[in-house]
Copies of this chain bind each other. A is one copy, B any other.
Amino acid sequence: MSASTGRTIGIDVGGTKCLGVALDRDGHVVAEDRRPTPRGPGSLPKLIDTLAELADELGPFDEIGVGVPGLVTHEGVLRAAPNLDGVADFDVAGLLGQRVGQRVHVDNDATCAAVSEWLYGAGKGASDMVLVTLGTGIGGGLVMSGKLQRGKHGFAGEYGHIVVDPDGPPCPCGRRGCWERYASGSGLARLAREAAVGRRVNRVLDLAGGDPESVRGEMVMQAAREGDADALRVIDDFGRWVALGLVNLTNALDPEMFVLGGGLAAGSDLYLGPIQYWFKELIYQPDLRPMPEVAFAHWNERAGAVGAALLHSVHDS
């Protein structure tokens, strides 16, 4: 074995870019690089090339990990990934391991985010933590009894597909009314579009050039920051849906804290209040139980990459 470099590498594979970081022994980011995620037919071998290039760029290293969107087995095989082209049983750990000549730790990207927040972020020291990423969709990770919990096959934490209304809007997963149809970035936009069609959010509609179909979550955020009452009502509705899902998870898992990450964490000042209000409204016996803390992610867009670099310390532990 070669001499220790004290450096670990983590790469987060996103729908548009691959973000790589190098960490020192104390969990500080000492280098960073990014490449576009290869897309289209035949892109999977190119993805392995991209990951190997990033590892080479950021190395030498002692340990390496990769976060990918989708269902990842304990062996590091990407079983299914709705946002990557042509993935079915894609052996990321095996293929990249051959290229870099050592074991590669692979896990779901939101699980990686949970690891970074738990070890060096907003959830540091928590024994029972639920991470929820509020992005285009909803991902999640789980710590219980002071241990990362991945489930029997590695697929735990897919909170976004908990059905909260079987007659709700269709979800790309094939069902209806999944939580992420309401409480994600695309959920916020949908809530705003529905309000816009009813002409109840004029300022948001202005920002979208008058076309309800062009309404995006950021426009609701902007109008709400300007104090627009209609936009604030949409934010309140959004906060109620986020809270409903957090209450569901509290009933099942009883965490001490939630860490909310993903793109929407940037608007946390706007909707933390509604989340907390609705959480108390929706939970059973709010006066007889401690409320879990709701915190926002420390690592922002680096959460997945940093967590991937730390997987070696939580896998097989």
Q: What residues make up the interface of A, taking CB atoms closer than 8 Å to B?
A: 71, 79-80, 88-89, 127-128, 140, 142, 144-145, 147, 149-167, 173-175, 244, 247-249, 251-256, 282, 284-285, 288-290, 292
Closest 4 CB pairs of A and B: A151-B254, A152-B256, A156-B254, A128-B152
User: Within the complex, which residue of B152, B154, B162 is in contact with A252, where a contact is CB–CB below 8 Å?
Assistant: B162
Q: Flag if B164 contacts A285 (CB, 8 Å).
A: no
Nearest B residue to A158 via CB reads: B251
Contacts of A290 in B (CB 8 A): 153
Q: Flag if B152 contacts A79 (CB, 8 Å).
A: no
Chain A interface mostly: loop
State the Cβ distance, A258 to closest chain B Cβ, in Å.
12
A145-B149 contact, Cβ under 8 Å, with A80-B285, A161-B251, A252-B162: yes
User: Within the complex, which residue of B147, B162, B254 is in contact with A150, where a contact is CB–CB below 8 Å?
Assistant: B254
Contacts of A254 in B (CB 8 A): 150-158
Contacts of A247 in B (CB 8 A): 163
State the Cβ distance, A69 to closest chain B Cβ, in Å.
13
Q: Flag if A79 contacts B289 (CB, 8 Å).
A: yes
Nearest B residue to A161 via CB reads: B251
State the Cβ distance, A286 to closest chain B Cβ, in Å.
10
A144-B153 contact, Cβ under 8 Å, with A158-B284, A247-B163: no
Contacts of A175 in B (CB 8 A): 282, 284
Q: Flag if B289 contacts A244 (CB, 8 Å).
A: no
**For the complex, what is the distance from the CA of A127 to the CA of B150, rounded to whole Å?**
12
State the Cβ distance, A151 to closest chain B Cβ, in Å.
3
A-B contact pairs, 25 of them (CB 8 A): A71-B288, A80-B284, A80-B285, A80-B288, A88-B288, A144-B156, A145-B147, A145-B149, A151-B254, A152-B256, A153-B256, A153-B289, A154-B254, A156-B253, A156-B254, A157-B252, A159-B251, A162-B251, A162-B252, A163-B244, A163-B247, A163-B282, A165-B165, A173-B284, A175-B282
